[in-house]
Amino acid sequence: MGLLSEGSPLDWEKTKDLADHVRKHGIIQFINLYKRLRDRQGDILKWGDEVEYVLVKFDDEAKTAKLSLRAADILQVLNEKEQSDPDNIKSLWRPEYGAYMLEGTPGKPYGGLLVHFNIVEANMRYRRQEASKLLGPNEVLMSLTNFPRTGAQDFTDPPTRSTPDDGAARSLFFPDEAIYPGHPRFKTLTRNIRKRRGEKVAINIPIYKDENVPRPFKEDFSNLVDDESNYAAQEDHIYMDAMGFGMGCCCLQLTFQACNIQEARTLYDQLAPLCPIMLALTAASPFYRGYISDVDCRWNVISCSVDCRTREERGLKPLKENKFRISKSRYDSIDSYLSEQGEKYNDVPLTYDDEIYKQLLDNGIDKLLAQHVAHLFIRDTVSLFSEKINQNDAEDTDHFENIQSTNWQTMRFKPPPPNSSIGWRVEFRPCEVQITDFENAAIVCFIVLLTRVILSYKLNLLIPISKVDKNMARAQRRNAVVAEKFWFRRDITSDAKQQDDGQPEYTEFTVNEIINGKDGVFPGLIPLVNSYLASMDVDADTHCTVQGYMKLIQKRASGELLTTAAWLRKEVLSHPEYKQDSVITQRINYDLLKKVQKIVSNEISCPELLGTCISSKTNETIPAAVAKAENISL
């Protein structure tokens, strides 16, 4: 989200009463913006990353590591520079869900020059240092997908208490004080999602059944007033009951601008099948609420953490109050492709309101885009500010954005904002954030390069949406990157017309085969990226940097290097205090995060995670000599 719009949030009853108002005007706003901008042409590649961080406070005497709830104070200082000199800053900082979270992006998007790949990591490092300078003693900024003990006993600094009978989340574990206090949006969303659903969110993630985990593993919540949790908590699962367990996780996202709406639709589609693959490859979150889980990724946790569907909508009760059965949470993988090429792979039934769909068609919007927007608009607003109720639908897009930005899907199709020079964009959202800037830079450069390869080689990666969904489930399983196979298109390089050799269009590959190729069967995404790069005259530093990144991706895919999740597991399982009970104690957590911090600050190396050649030539600015030379555009 951009700078969050300020104002006073309405209570749930008023918000609920205005759901149709927001939908009605949101659709009109989309129609108007579409008519104004559908023919916009000639935008160039621009792109940028978003990295989320947590603040961790170490206590070296007590040997504890806790989430520090000071993000709002830090953010205030970080934003001063932006306010005084918005055009000359190297970073932008935004609030995130947790009172312990920050989100940082580059000050300006990168452009379409190869040499830009060389400044990504340096900018990430700059951001880390810039925020770190504002921290207190023993406070550290970390890019951790999930803090291992979120919601466990005594996980915040200062200490807090959850308030199961009161407040926004009403969680047994996650206190409202751990929700970002500087903007009402976050608490409002928390409260309204719970109220809309009619009960607390329920997140059950399978526990890792190490030898000393009780069988069955069932936590006892029966002494609590809160009957809901007792009913919702499942056996052999880690139970969580608040938005903060998911939205309090960190991720790595990137957005890129397409030259026009068609190209944006193509990229949206072509990248969708890569979401589960990249999720498996970036897996970094095996721990929840102080326990080791049996999954490696946050995706299902975050999906359940904002699942505002009622019992009727989830199919547990006959429809009476609500209009639709809805198959997924508003945070989930996409349900349909947007390009003509994708149409035939749209094989999951789409829920939408026929009248809205027809209204979009009647206004000249094609079937695929109309059903996409109509499908987003099955959701009710869950956060509305009094100042935003009445808008000028010819110019404003707040009601559209209200629904759009609370459909948290693997991909996001972003129309140009009103009155700006920004074009049609696509956001890639599945990746888990890695502990080092090197890894995060590698991932974003790989994805941006892939978009260039897809466009210039006219690759076709499409498979049925139902298969992408299957892959999403597989991607999250423990060790998926080496243990699972994924549906993937068999022939991604030939024209569709040449592909009727009688074989099915898609088959199952390992991540290694998808990334590195399979002899005579599949070319591999990195070999394709490399052949694309080989045709270009790259300066030596950029070449070195990019090669280091591609190697990292290749080795993670082949299993030669561990995923972050696998490494984190290994560290906990081999800790002297670990009792084979899948419990991450304060001490284990402290030692683990201290080690992470030493790796990030280069005090120790970690070849099993990062390999041996991690010294990229990354630079904060483009060297004058390179800038002067005719630089290669992507």
Residues at the site binding ligand ADP, with contacts judged by CB under 6 A? 1-2, 46-50, 94, 105-106, 109, 253, 255-257, 422, 425, 427
Instruction: State the binding partner of 380 from Mg ion, ligand ADP, none, CB within 5 to 8 A by kind.
Output: none
Query: Residue 205 or 441: which CB sits closer to ligand ADP?
Result: 441
Q: Closest distance between ligand ADP and the C-beta of residue 426, in Å?
A: 9
Can residue 410 be called a binding residue for Mg ion (CB under 5 A)? no
Candidates 43, 49, 103, 157; binder of Mg ion (CB under 5 A) is 103
Q: Closest distance between ligand ADP and the C-beta of residue 416, in Å?
A: 9
Instruction: State the binding partner of 389 from ligand ADP, Mg ion, none, CB within 5 to 8 A by kind.
Output: none
Q: Closest distance between ligand ADP and the C-beta of residue 100, in Å?
A: 18
Single out the residue of 534, 558, 420 nearest to residue 482, CA to CA.
558
The residue to which tokens 């949406």 are assigned: 465
Residue nearest to Mg ion (CB): 253
Q: Closest distance between ligand ADP and the C-beta of residue 475, in Å?
A: 21
Residues sharing a CB contact under 8 Å with residue 237, sequence separation 6 or more, in sequence order: 204, 205, 206, 207, 217
Query: Residue 32 or 257: which CB sits closer to ligand ADP?
Result: 257
Query: What is the rounded CA–CA span in Å between residue 257 and residue 340?
Result: 20
Q: At CA 310, angle to CA 308 and CA 316, rounded to 5? A: 135
Can residue 3 be called a binding residue for Mg ion (CB under 5 A)? no
Q: Closest distance between Mg ion and the C-beta of residue 8, in Å?
A: 22
Query: What is the rounded CA–CA span in Å between residue 183 and residue 360?
Result: 34
Instruction: State the binding partner of 107 from Mg ion, ligand ADP, none, CB within 5 to 8 A by kind.
Output: none
Instruction: State the binding partner of 48 from Mg ion, ligand ADP, none, CB within 5 to 8 A by kind.
Output: ligand ADP
Positions 46 through 65 that interact with Mg ion (CB under 5 A):
50
Query: What is the rounded CA–CA span in Å between residue 262 and residue 275?
Result: 20
Q: Closest distance between Mg ion and the C-beta of residue 523, in Å?
A: 31
Pairing of β 331-332 and β 408-409: parallel
Query: Residue 257 or 616: which CB sits closer to Mg ion?
Result: 257
Query: Residue 76 or 212: which CB sits closer to Mg ion?
Result: 76
Q: Write the burial class of residue 248 (CB in 10 Å: 0-12 exposed, 13-18 middle, 19+ buried).
A: buried
Query: What is the rounded CA–CA span in Å between residue 111 and residue 154?
Result: 45
Instruction: State the binding partner of 248 from ligand ADP, Mg ion, none, CB within 5 to 8 A by kind.
Output: none
Q: How far is CA 13 from the centre of its chain?
A: 30
Single out the residue of 454, 53, 423 nearest to residue 248, CA to CA.
53
DSSP output for 66-103? EEE--HHHHHHHHHHHHHH-GGG-SEEEEE-SBTTEEE
Give the total of residues touching Mg ion (CB under 5 A).
4
Q: Closest distance between ligand ADP and the C-beta of residue 538, in Å?
A: 22
Query: What is the rounded CA–CA span in Å between residue 407 and residue 426?
Result: 14
Query: Residue 257 or 451: which CB sits closer to ligand ADP?
Result: 257
| 528 CB-side CA count, 13 A | 27
Single out the residue of 550, 491, 561 nearest to residue 526, CA to CA.
550
Q: Closest distance between ligand ADP and the C-beta of residue 152, in Å?
A: 29
Query: What is the rounded CA–CA span in Å between residue 516 and residue 15?
Result: 50
Residues sharing a CB contact under 8 Å with residue 473, sequence separation 6 or more, in sequence order: none
Query: Residue 12 or 424: which CB sits closer to ligand ADP?
Result: 424
Query: Residue 330 or 425: which CB sits closer to ligand ADP?
Result: 425
Instruction: State the binding partner of 486 from ligand ADP, Mg ion, none, CB within 5 to 8 A by kind.
Output: none
Q: Closest distance between Mg ion and the C-beta of residue 45, in Å?
A: 18
- State the binding string over 359-388 for Mg ion (x if CB under 5 A, else -): ------------------------------
Residue 527 corresponds to which tokens in the numbers above?
Answer: 């070999």
Positions 206 through 265 that interact with Mg ion (CB under 5 A):
253
Residues in contact with Mg ion by CB under 5 A are: 1, 50, 103, 253
